[in-house]
């Protein structure tokens, strides 16, 4: 009997297999769309690169400005707050002027602001520099993801995971180049200034290759000619099963889409005789709907809590990995920068493989065992007396975290609600708070306990995620049954 095989996002490739006959219709992108995809890859990589250049130079910047770790935690929170402001401003502007324009503006702002921490000579100037850098990062985060959605829509198949893998790849490149310049003895201002100039130049190079938002509809229309609605495939297969395999070979089935056409309004006697289901609905239907809504809200909040915990751990790794290696084991600045590099390389590799692994073992397994790997990595980080073993801990942490966020967000978008975007936005926003809160909490704790001991906070968070990983399990109405 035939069965539909649908890709992980429910768009793009649709395949119906009946006996030995197989039909595959895959949307193909035109050349401007493929070029735009490479351009967006570049922007995501630039974003990760600039953030990494800040992270690997944190020890030098704090030494230069005389900022204590507890104060640095407050400044990181300030940078994150400025990022939220950038996000809130950029969203409406992108709707009005197009994501292409906002990507260019935000990338230039962030690139130019990258030199700011290197020029800072005290706490006040560092706070101003980080606020500008955070604003640019928040604006770029929203605008480049909006542009990525347009490119993905034009492609007609899921490619978002690859964009985020390139972000991690940019972070890896930034950490390695940062470590190399530190080992070579480059001046901090020269390193960050070179990154700023390179970022602005790269932005001008990719700008003409980005998609205008008005181009997306035309590209989507071209790609859409190769798509078959999933409901139509399901309908065809279901009706074929009812008639048996023999009938399926000989019968001429009705067009799959015929069933889905909307009937016209009843007229004449039919209008008078047709029962009104709205009037005859049971009186307790509103109670049932209210109960379903409460249950739905609980699921959204559960996913948001898991996202908060996972991103808390990721934020801690991003902002405190280099300082932890330097403080705990006395590593020099160049060696300490490798901690974030180890985290980034496994995060990138894990993101590239996450979709395939999830398809084999399921969402819950990816989150649960990923969190166990992350917990093992944090335990090594806290207990290790050797630099190589500590670097292995950061690598395990990156691998464990890499696949979890995509599974959480996929689950949030497939809760069976007619407001999937609202569900996802709620999970995103609370998760982002975890990304902001984690580094800040660690900074406050370092005023009373050692930095390595403070790593117990993300350790507890990922163990909680491991325990409640079942919340990402597919819903009965979830088409992505994995």
Whether residue 413 sits in one domain with residue 302: yes
pLDDT of residue 214: 58
What's the pLDDT score for residue 419?
Answer: 54
Q: Does residue 14 form part of some domain?
A: no
pLDDT tens per residue, range 288-335 = 666 777 888 888 899 889 989 999 999 999 889 988 898 888 888 888
Q: How far is CA 35 from its chain centroid?
A: 22
Predicted pLDDT at 215: 53
Do 304 and 208 fall into the same domain? no
Indicate whether 252 belongs to any domain. no
The CATH number given to whatever domain includes residue 91 is 1.20.1250.20
Q: Are residues 187 and 55 in the same domain?
A: yes
Both tokens of 76, joined, read 């990181």
Q: How far apart are CA 296 and CA 309, in angstroms?
A: 20
Q: What is the pLDDT of residue 287?
A: 61
Write down the pLDDT at residue 115.
Answer: 94
In this structure, the answer to whether residues 46 and 170 fall within a common structural domain is yes
DSSP state of 185: T
355/216 same-domain check: no
Statement to judge: residues 307 and 209 lie in one domain: no
Residue 383 is part of which domain span?
Answer: 297-475
306 found inside a domain: yes
**Residue 81 covered by a domain:** yes
Q: How many domains does the chain have?
A: 2
pLDDT of residue 163: 79
Q: Please report the pLDDT score of residue 272 as a whole number.
A: 44
| Residue 262 forms part of a structural domain | no
Q: Which residues of the chain have pLDDT under 70?
A: 1-29, 157-158, 160-161, 213-290, 413-414, 416-425, 475-482
Does residue 192 sit in the same domain as residue 335?
Answer: no
Q: How far apart are CA 1 and CA 429, in angstroms?
A: 44
* Inter-CA distances, 237 with 10, 17, 482, Å: 17, 9, 20
**313, 212: one domain:** no
Q: Can you give the pLDDT at residue 35?
A: 92
Is 242 part of any domain?
Answer: no
End position of a domain, from candidates 225, 244, 272: 225
* pLDDT reported for residue 363: 80
């Amino acid at each position: 009997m035939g069965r539909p095989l649908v890709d992980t996002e429910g768009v793009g490739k649709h395949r119906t297999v009946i006996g030995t006959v197989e039909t595959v219709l895959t949307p193909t992108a035109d050349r401007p769309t493929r070029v735009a995809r490479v351009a967006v890859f570049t922007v995501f990589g630039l974003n990760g690169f600039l953030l990494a250049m800040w992270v690997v130079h944190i020890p030098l910047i704090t030494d230069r400005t005389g900022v204590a770790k507890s104060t640095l935690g407050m400044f990181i929170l300030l940078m994150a707050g400025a990022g939220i402001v950038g996000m809130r401003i950029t969203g409406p502007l992108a709707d009005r002027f197009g994501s292409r324009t906002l990507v260019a503006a935000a990338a230039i702002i962030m690139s130019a602001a990258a030199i700011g921490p290197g020029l800072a000579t005290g706490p006040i100037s560092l706070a101003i520099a980080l606020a500008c850098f955070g604003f640019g990062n928040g604006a770029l985060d929203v605008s480049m993801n909006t542009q990525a959605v347009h490119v993905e829509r034009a492609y007609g198949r899921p490619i978002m995971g690859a964009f985020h893998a390139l972000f991690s790849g940019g972070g890896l490149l930034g950490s390695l180049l940062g470590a190399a310049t530190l080992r070579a003895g480059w001046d901090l201002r020269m390193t960050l200034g070179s990154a700023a100039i390179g970022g602005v130049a790269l932005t001008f190079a990719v700008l003409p290759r980005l998609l205008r938002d008005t181009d997306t509809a035309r590209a989507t229309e071209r790609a859409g000619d190769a798509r078959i609605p999933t409901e139509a495939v399901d309908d065809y297969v279901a009706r074929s099963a009812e008639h048996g395999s023999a009938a399926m070979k000989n019968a001429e089935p009705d067009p799959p889409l015929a069933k889905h056409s909307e009937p016209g309004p009843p007229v004449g006697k039919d209008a008078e005789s047709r029962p009104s289901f709205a009037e005859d609905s049971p009186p307790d239907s509103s109670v049932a709907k209210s109960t379903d809504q409460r249950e739905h809200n609980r699921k959204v909040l559960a996913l948001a809590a898991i996202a908060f915990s996972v991103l808390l751990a990721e934020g801690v790794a991003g902002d405190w990995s280099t300082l932890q290696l330097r403080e705990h084991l006395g590593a020099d600045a160049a060696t300490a920068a490798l901690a974030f590099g180890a985290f980034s390389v496994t995060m990138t590799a894990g993101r590239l493989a996450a979709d395939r692994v999830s398809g084999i073992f399921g969402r819950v397994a990816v989150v649960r065992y990923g969190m166990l790997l992350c917990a093992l990595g944090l335990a090594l980080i806290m207990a290790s007396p050797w630099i190589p073993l500590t670097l292995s801990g950061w690598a395990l942490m990156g691998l464990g975290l890499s696949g979890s966020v995509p599974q959480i967000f996929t689950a949030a978008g497939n809760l069976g609600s007619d407001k999937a975007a609202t569900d996802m936005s709620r999970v995103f926003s609370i998760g982002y708070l975890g990304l902001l809160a984690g580094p800040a909490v660690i900074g406050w704790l370092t005023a009373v306990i050692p930095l390595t001991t403070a790593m117990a906070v993300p350790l507890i968070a990922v163990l909680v995620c491991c325990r409640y990983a079942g919340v990402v399990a597919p819903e009965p109405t979830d088409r992505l049954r994995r």
